[in-house]
Structure 1
């Protein structure tokens, strides 16, 4: 069974501040640096998601791109 609660950051912070010191210490030990770093590495930024949803080249388009690049490079050196 899973329950999902949608509360804001400020509400969560206020609830945590009302906990007894022992419970805050227990929560802090659970949310250690390793856990936070692992969680952050799994989350994609908006920009990363934007890039992953972007268009990609097929083989034919890539070959055309390479040919165009070769032509542009030859123009620069002349």
Structure 2
């Protein structure tokens, strides 16, 4: 079961400051894991952006094919 609680930032900050050094270290590790997950998403986006693209010639062929298909569909 998951519960969400809204805690004002200042109250959360006070609570973190009362943690022992070991607890702070554990909290830091948990937060780092969250950041790694976000980095995975950003690397996926970068892969998509850097991925292969169509050349101008390929785009012309695709446009020509689309026009041919559209003409064929409208014949009737």
Task: Give the number of the structure whose residues are more often helix, by fraction.
Answer: 2
Shared fold, TM over 0.5: no
* TM-score (ref. length: structure 2): 0.42
* TM-score (ref. length: structure 1): 0.42
Larger CA Rg, structure 1 vs 2 = 2
